[in-house]
A and B are shown apart, each in its own frame.
Chain A
Amino acid sequence: MAMDPSEVEFLAEKETVKIIPNFSLDKIFLIGGDLGPFNPGLPVDVPVWLALNLKQRQKCRVIPPDWMEVEKLEEMRDLERKEETFTPVPSPYYMELTKLLLNHASDNIPKADEIRTLVKDIWDTRIAKLRLSADSFISQQEAHAKLDNLTLMEINTVRAFLLDSLNCMYKLRSNLQPSSSKGQFIDY
């Protein structure tokens, strides 16, 4: 069973991002890590979920991650188009972070629209590549594959389809050796 994209987003919200708070608060001790102390005007690392919450309450300014920049993304897009395999991405949650930060803190990100277009381009290129490789994977009847640089969100969109297809292919293939499948009963 595939995960829901919002569950993938939930995992992405654990990534850290730099913010500049406009309030002061002592160090807070949370399960999973201590945060702060928070001082007005001083950058501090916090998880994305907290950054977005503070941003919505107008208590901070978000500093976009290093890679969320037009030139770097253009370079990445060109490399992605040139390479046959998947190139390393700047963040394992690049799609989710782009969406979250651009939707909630676009006023803190320079050239937000261009970044949105570039990330969408990169995504589309990678998904087209994923489909191409899935097709050759099936047509060569392979049984295993290595997908190093795919992100969770990308895997998740094709997971149900690919696994179901591979299951069918496996069963149709085991028809070729009729003796091995006999005597096996699945109990319900």
Chain B
Amino acid sequence: MDTQSYHPVQPGVGMEENYLSLDDILLSHERLPIRTECAFPRLGFLEKSSDTQDIPEGTKMELPLWLSKGLYERKRRVLSVELPKVYKEGWRTVFNADSNVVDLHKMGPYYYGLGSQMLHFESPENPEIAQTLLQTFIGRFRRTMDSSQNAYNEDTSALVERLDCLEKALFRSGQSGLNGFQSWEKGQASQLTASSLVLNYRKRKITDIQT
């Protein structure tokens, strides 16, 4: 395995993000629908639809998660965050009915991560959101597992394209277990191969290395 000594910081999944996780940074760029509760002077350039210098109170706009999280306060009303559609009651019923039919990549692609982060905004529906996230994960577990454990040396893009980012990571770890075992069974594990690092090293031109 060529990824053995590469340990990227894993995403936090729960309510706390991991500061250095690239996945969590990408997740925090997801846009949320918000409504300003006070005027934002001299920030009019953020709001493209009007030419004013300030953002007036009561404007509806979209802000990335990291910014909304930074500005949100329970006591001082700076902004109020609306739930994205997928976490609202309508979609929650769909998820609870049969979570397997939903295309979480289109909905998400950070369905679980963003959903957990939404809990920071203390919406009254929080318990229901958390419950739906958990039930959706449980409901889809079998499919993720079966597809990752059965597809061997196949094109897995059709299986993966409807999975959320978190499920994709799970799919990959399922595949690595399966592939490890299968290559052992076929006797590939006992053949010595050059490390991918060495192979790539040779491909570089000698002038690149010298400079």
Chains A and B belong together in one complex? yes
Residues in B72-90 with C-beta less than 8 Å from chain A: none
Q: Could you tell me if A164 and B177 are in contact, using CB atoms closer than 8 angstroms?
A: no
Partner of B14, one of A139, A165, A171, A185: A171
Rounded to whole angstroms, the CA-CA distance of A6 and B183 in the bound complex is 10
Q: Could you tell me if A157 and B178 are in contact, using CB atoms closer than 8 angstroms?
A: yes
Of all chain A residues, the one with the shortest Cβ separation from B122 is: A178
Q: Could you tell me if B180 and A5 are in contact, using CB atoms closer than 8 angstroms?
A: yes
Rounded to whole angstroms, the CA-CA distance of A108 and B17 in the bound complex is 58
Of all chain A residues, the one with the shortest Cβ separation from B150 is: A131
Count A-B contacts at CB 8 Å. Answer: 116
Interface residues on B, range: 35 or more
Q: Mark A166-179, 1 if CB is under 8 A from B, else 0.
A: 01110111111010
Partner of B20, one of A164, A168, A188: A188
- Interface residue SS majority, chain A: helix
Q: Could you tell me if B180 and A164 are in contact, using CB atoms closer than 8 angstroms?
A: no
Partner of A181, one of B16, B173, B181, B184: B16
Rounded to whole angstroms, the CA-CA distance of A153 and B131 in the bound complex is 35
Residues of B within 8 A of A135 (CB): 141-142, 145
Rounded to whole angstroms, the CA-CA distance of A160 and B10 in the bound complex is 14
Q: Could you tell me if B170 and A172 are in contact, using CB atoms closer than 8 angstroms?
A: no
- Interface residues of B, Cβ cutoff 8 Å to A: 1, 9, 12-16, 18-20, 112, 116, 119, 126-127, 130-131, 133-134, 137-139, 141-142, 144-146, 148-149, 166, 169-170, 173-174, 176-178, 180-181, 183-185, 187, 189-190
Q: A160-B176, A168-B170, A171-B14 are in contact. List 10 more A-B contacts (CB 8 A).
A: A4-B180, A5-B183, A5-B185, A9-B189, A165-B145, A169-B138, A172-B130, A172-B137, A175-B133, A181-B14
